[in-house]
Amino acid sequence: MALRRYLGAFLLLALVSLSFGQPKLAENGAEGRPANWKESVLGSIASIFRETAFAPTINFDQWPDYLKKHQAEIDKADTDEAFQRAVNAALKEFKASHIMLSTPQATRNRKESRSTGIGISVALEKDAYLVTYVFEGSPAAKVGLVAGDRILTVDGKSAADRIPLTGDEGKSVTITVRRRDGSEEEMSLVRRRYSTQRPAEVAVLDDDTAILTLHTFDLTYSADRVEALLRKVSDKPQLIIDLRGNGGGAVANMCHFLNCFLPGTTEIGTYVDRRLANRYERENGKRATDLVELAKFATRRVKIGQKAQIAPYRGKVAVITNGGSGSAAEIAATVLRDELGAAVVGTKTAGAVLISVLVPVGHEFSLQFPLSDYVTMKGQRLEGVGVTPTVPVRDLLPFRISDAEDAGVKAARDWFIRASSG
């Protein structure tokens, strides 16, 4: 396993957004593999947990016990998707973010920024799928689905039963949709390949205020695009940064974004990794168990670095977050709050902030696993905790609607008024 090449590109991939664009994997997903392919993948995972994976609060020695608990389901799995589900059920026993197995198809989709399906991301409601995003050029976009629509039935069955919208390319699905105005409509869609890119967007709300929507820090993040958008609104004294549903991505992209607001020399926290823990134990003669104490012991802090090609934005900033804001988005919100005095508006973030990598584990499967934990400059751990907004918003939707109606935008504007008058 060529692990070394991956270690230079830390990923913060805490959240995999619930997207109904993944195809149902073929029943013959294991065709052409040796009979012991499952054992081979599981052996690679076990090796990683013994030798490489690290987080101060996770005992990776428990993996054999977790695996044994779920072994029957793993043995029964006869497709890539079923194997992935069974292994991930075992990985969830760690009760931490950033530990997940991906199928060959999911791995390829991420690398190619493409998927197969109807092309929407959704949030689960009691009796419906709430559409939170519609990918440009997808089947859903072509039939006019928009964020805020609710899918009530799938092929005649209630969405409350969690009937999947996924399926093979070229296969059709019939859904009943309730529009935001209350009207209902039945429509049939044919699953197709589509781009999963979600480019950053900017809009001017009024003479003083602009809003930058940033969907991801992952592979499709474009530094050039972000800088171009910020140049357009650099004269606005107030900027709202919408990070709702931003599940994170690469540390380098997050640092580039922060460098658009703060000097490259700005320290943004501490990565608590195996090397730091081992040094602490050698010099103190005891095992490191307190993450904050470990961070204080560290002699180096993470710096943003000089990555942006534009002058830092100088106006007031408010950041909108929700439970879909994870990992790099959580760090970005915290740094802007602590170093720039930005307001964090909305609801609590995901609390999924382990530093991780994604590596192959054989037969085109890949494993995401942590290498370190993160502590803010103020000594706060975000993993399992999240970022609590300074301006809570009760009725925040997971997507932006018209600016007059959007509770997050309204709360941010109200904060700007208070900040200016205070």
Question: Running along the chain, 422 residues long, what does each successive block of 10 average in pLDDT?
Answer: 36 44 42 90 98 94 98 96 97 97 93 92 92 95 95 95 87 95 95 94 96 95 98 98 96 97 97 94 87 91 96 97 97 98 98 96 97 95 96 93 88 96 74
HEC assignment per residue over the chain: CCCHHHHCCCEECCCCCCEECCCCCCCCCCCCCCCCHHHHHHHHHHHHHHHCCCCCCCCHHHHHHHHHHHHHHHHHCCCHHHHHHHHHHHHHHHCCCCCEEECHHHHHHHHHCEEEECCEEEEECCCCEEEEEECCCCHHHHCCCCCCCEEEEECCEEHHHCCCCCCCCCCEEEEEEECCCCCEEEEEEECEEEECCCCCEEEECCCCEEEEECCCECCCCCHHHHHHHHHHCCCCCEEEEECCCCCCEEHHHHHHHHHCCCCCCCEEEEEEEHHHHHHHHHHHCCCCCCHHHHHHHCCCCEECCCCCCCCCCCCEEEEEECCCCCCHHHHHHHHHHHHHCCEEEECCCCCCCCEEEEEEEECCEEEEEEEEEEECCCCCECCCCCCCCCEECCCCCCCCCCCCCCHHHHHHHHHHHHHHHC
Q: Quick one: pLDDT at residue 166? A: 81
Read off the pTM: 0.89
The most distant pair of C-alpha atoms in the chain lies apart, rounded to whole Å, by 70
Q: Quick one: pLDDT at residue 43? A: 98
From the CA atom positions of the chain, what is the Rg in Å? 22
Q: Quick one: pLDDT at residue 31? A: 62
CA-closest candidate to residue 335, choices 235, 402, 407, 243? 243
- Rounded CA separation 276/298 (Å): 7
- Rounded CA separation 269/340 (Å): 15
Q: Quick one: pLDDT at residue 41? A: 98
Q: Quick one: pLDDT at residue 11? A: 52
Strands 150-154 and 192-195 turn out to be: unpaired
CA-closest candidate to residue 331, choices 410, 228, 237, 253? 253
Q: Quick one: pLDDT at residue 292? A: 87
Alpha carbon 158 to its chain's center: 28
- Rounded CA separation 114/271 (Å): 32
As beta bridge partners, residue 177 has 151, 185
- Note whether 271 and 372 are within 8 A (CB): yes
Q: Quick one: pLDDT at residue 288? A: 78
What lies within 8 Å, CB to CB, of 277 at 6+ separation is: 54, 56, 288, 294
